[in-house]
Amino acid sequence: MYDSLGLDLKGLSEQAFLDAMEGFDELKKEGLLKNDSIITVIDFDQPSINKRMYVLDIKHYQVLFNTWAAHGRNSGSLMATSFSNAMSSNKSSLGFYLTDEPYYGGNGYSLKLKGLESGVNDKAMVRAIVLHGADYVSQSSINELGYLGRSFGCPAVPRALSRPIIDVIKEGSVLFIYNSTYHPAARYAAG
């Protein structure tokens, strides 16, 4: 699938894809997925100026979206290099998430994310780590800053794409935030 979708040409590392699919398969076996057609991979090994978010339809072998995704302001500027699960850290959390329900909040139409990895991202709900649109996720921010604008830890996407992405991935699909420095012992702890 990696080769047939041309994901290498779109910048997604093969290791990120393989890790994502391994976790997806495990979560599917555990019966946690309501939507087992879609997987979202955010590759934080790439700089923020790259379109490093991939929404994949794995049943129909399609790349549905390939766009920018912001990382937390305290995770780094151009590159995300520091991650945390702590309250008020303003850092991104890595690992596997299950998408929850959409809602309207301070950033408009947004999507709740349930972190599945104990000590890694399981505080996502209490930290209000959600997928949302933001004006700072844009070419104009890159032009002005030299990197994408940053969030308080949320994987923010371009405002114009937030609703279409949320409507595709909401309510029970896998979202995986990858970085090559992250090798959890209990990667798929669903707790």
DSSP string over 155-169: --EEHHHHHHHHHHH
Of all residues in the chain, what percent are helix, strand and coil, respectively (each to 5)? Answer: 20, 25, 55
Q: What is the pTM of this model?
A: 0.95
pLDDT of amino acid 83:
96
pLDDT of amino acid 88:
97
Rounded average pLDDT over 26-52: 97
User: What amino acid is encoded at 16 in this protein?
Assistant: A
Rounded average pLDDT over 24-37: 96
Rounded average pLDDT over 22-36: 95
pLDDT of amino acid 36:
96
Q: In what order do the strands lie in the sheet with 130-134?
A: 62-67, 53-57, 38-43, 174-178, 95-105, 108-115, 130-134, 157-158
As a whole number of angstroms, the distance between CA 88 and CA 143 comes to: 28
* CATH topology assigned to domain 14-178: L,D-transpeptidase catalytic domain-like (2.40.440)
Under the banding of pLDDT at 50, 70 and 90, the label for residue 182 is confident
| Count of all residues that appear for the chain in the document | 191
Q: Which CA distances in Å does 173 have to 48, 79, 147, 164, 165? A: 24, 26, 29, 15, 12
Question: Which candidate, 75, 39, 41, places its Cα nearest to that of 57?
Answer: 39
Phi, psi (deg, nearest 5) at residue 25: -60, -40
Rounded average pLDDT over 49-73: 97
pLDDT of amino acid 183:
64
pLDDT of amino acid 185:
45
pLDDT of amino acid 191:
39
